[in-house]
Amino acid sequence: MEGNKLIYPSNERLVFRWVVVISVLVPIVVAVLLFMPSKVDLGADWAYFLPHLNAMINTVASVALVLGVIFIKKGNVLYHQTAMTVAFALGALFLVSYVIYHATVESTPFGGEGWVRAVYYFLLITHIILAAVALFPILLAYYYGYTNQLQKHRATVRYAFPIWLYVTVTGVIVYLMISPYYQH
C-alpha cells in the first residue's frame, strides 16, 4: 500500500480476459449440465435438499447485497466490503450447489395454471437470462472494489447491483413458486 491507494499489478488486461473467460464458460457449463441426457448418480438422496439450501443462500445473499448498499451510503467502507464479500462467496457457493443439483436430479415441472404460470415463467426466464449475464459485471465490480479503483467500481456497480439483486430475489421467488411441486 502506498498512502491510501492499493498498488495493483499492471496485468489488468489479463484480469479482464479471465473475467470474460469465466463469464462465458460458467453459463455454458451450467447449460450443458442442465441438458445432459442422463444425470450423474451420486448414490444419495441428499441432493434433493439442495433447492432448499439454494433458496436460503439466495435469501442471505439478497440481504447481504442490501446491507452492502446501506453500509456504503453511511460511509462504512469496511462493513460494505464485508457484506459484498459475503454476497460474493454465497454466490459462488450457490453456483456449486446449483450445478450439483441439476447434474444429479431431473428438473421439476411447474404445475401452476392460469396467470400464475405466466408470472412463474416470466420470472424464471428473466432470472435465467440475467443470471447468465450477471457474472461479468459482478466479477468486474468486485475486482475494481478490491483494487480500490473506485471510479470504475461505481460505474460497474451501477449495472451489476440491480442485476445481481434481481437474480437473487427472483431465485427465491421462483423456488417458492415451484417448491409445492417437488416430489421429494
The residue count for the chain: 184
Q: Lowest-pLDDT range, 14-18, 57-61, 170-174?
A: 14-18
pTM for the predicted model, two decimal places: 0.86
pLDDT at 2: 44
| d(C-alpha 66, C-alpha 44), whole Å | 36
pLDDT at 70: 98
Whether residue 156 is contained in a domain is answered as: yes
Query: Can you give the CATH number for the domain in which 108 is found?
Result: 1.20.120.80
Band of pLDDT at residue 5, cut at 50, 70 and 90? low
Whether residue 87 is contained in a domain is answered as: yes
Q: Which residue type sits at 110?
A: F
Across the chain, mean pLDDT equals 90
Rounded (5°) CA angle 25-29-35: 145
Q: Over the range 62-86, which residues count as b (16 or more CB within 10 Å of their CB) and which as e?
A: bebbbbbeebbeeeeeeebeebbeb
Digit-coded pLDDT (tens) for 34-78: 777 777 777 768 888 999 999 999 999 999 999 999 999 999 999
Whether residue 4 is contained in a domain is answered as: no
> Which residue range(s) make up the domain with 22?
12-36+45-181
Q: Please state the φ and ψ torsions of residue 152, each to the nearest 5 degrees.
A: -65, -40
pLDDT at 68: 97
Dig out the grid coordinates for 6 from the structure.
Answer: 492499493
pLDDT at 9: 52
pLDDT at 4: 47
Whether residue 3 is contained in a domain is answered as: no
Domains of the chain: total: 1
